[in-house]
Amino acid sequence: MRIESGNQERRISKWMVLLLAAACGLIAANLYYAQTLVGPIRDAIGLSSTATGFIVTVTQIGYVIGLLFIVPVSDIVENRRLSVGMLLVAALALLTAAFATTAPLFLLAALLIGIGSVVAQILVPLAASLAAEEQRGLVVGNVMSGLLLGIMLARPAASFVASLWGWRAIFILSAVVIALLTVLLAYVLPARKPTKTVRYGKLILSLGSLWRHTPVLRRRALYQASLFGAFSLFWTVVPLHLADRFGMSQQGIAWFALVGVGGAIAAPIAGRLADRGWSKAMTVTAMVVAVLSFLAIHLFDRHSTPALILLFVSAFTLDMAVSGNLVVGQRSIYALGNEARGRLNGLFMSVFFTGGAIGSSVGGWAYEQGGWGLASWIGTALPLLALGYFLTERRLEKVGKAAEGVSSAG
């Protein structure tokens, strides 16, 4: 894997790719520790059942804020210094969440955890900038595998730790890990100083122009927003469903959440296939698999053993669909150029995490109003919407080719 600087070539070491993947995973995990702990956290800080979804949603809102207003700064500020500063914010917020006894304080800490955790989306573009064009999908896929493993392992890890020492322990443990990671990255991260300097206000205003004039960005962001909304709805509601209908303890929920970890295998595979020009095929496959993952849940009575087995299968296939489509989308975004890569990534990630925040909040509401049945049907609808939007892309291409044919004939 090479990067070119003038007439010189450098190689990015495998251990650096591994470090970036591990760092992204540890950082992104902070967004999801609370997902399988919504029950005990809700009881400890005094939230109502209807508001349970906000425990996860607020963190995702903070992440979106960071994506829109912090990640773009990586286009004008030295990336290592920016990453270290935001990781310190995340570590302090994790400690605050661990010792919070009221809902307002916990939710404020959750917001700051989300903001600080955007460092993962500074490191992923950094990895992309270190990769040669023909290997960018593979490099991004490998780093995203680490990030996705962090997301997926966060849920079972939080449940296992909570079953031993209570829900607050995972936030204390993560604060220590993030503090150590901050020191490590401060010493080993390569410096990446953007060549052009733009004022911050102008940088933020340029986001609107990038969104309007970059159709690939719009489509890829909205595809992923729909899939991630379904993903977040599933993982917000399924711990409540498993506890209420199947009597599972936190350890049982943790074992269930481990199933989703296997979905991360889709990331490097999708990256390789995208490098070979299979991006569109991978996209439609991910959408169809996500739809089928929710439909399979309804094949049996929702309280039966076969229904529980299908829940395990759906957790695995849904995670595969979301992780695979994410890598394909990010590869397409990073191919648009290096100078605006931080802003493009910030927009892409903020839109799709907005979808996740909506999915989490709607999931909590739907479960309260209509139980698992209503929540899962809403989950089915979200990837169907993405598939419908994808089909308009193909129609637009056909119209464009027809117009070119008429023009050349004339």
Q: List the alpha helices (DSSP H) in 29-135.
A: 38-45, 54-69, 79-99, 103-116, 120-129
pLDDT in tens, 62-94: 988 998 889 888 878 888 899 999 999 999 999
How far is it, in rounded angstroms, from Cα 373 to Cα 224? 23
Residue 219 pLDDT: 92
Instruction: Please give the class, per CATH, of domain 10-190+198-401.
Output: mainly alpha
Region 162-173 average pLDDT: 93
Neighbouring C-beta atoms of residue 410, cutoff 10 Å: 5
How far is it, in rounded angstroms, from Cα 355 to Cα 351? 6
How far is it, in rounded angstroms, from Cα 312 to Cα 248? 14
Name the pTM for this structure.
Answer: 0.74
Which helix (H) or strand (E) segment holds residue 217: the answer is helix 215-246
How far is it, in rounded angstroms, from Cα 167 to Cα 173? 11
How far is it, in rounded angstroms, from Cα 216 to Cα 331? 11
> Comparing C-alpha atoms, which of 73, 64, 108, 102 is closest to residue 89?
108
Q: Cα angle at 215 between 394 and 275, to 5 degrees?
A: 70
pLDDT in tens, 177-233: 999 999 999 998 887 776 666 777 888 888 888 898 888 899 999 999 999 999 989
DSSP 8-state code for residue 29: G
pLDDT in tens, 377-387: 999 999 999 99
How far is it, in rounded angstroms, from Cα 129 to Cα 122? 11
Length of the chain: 410
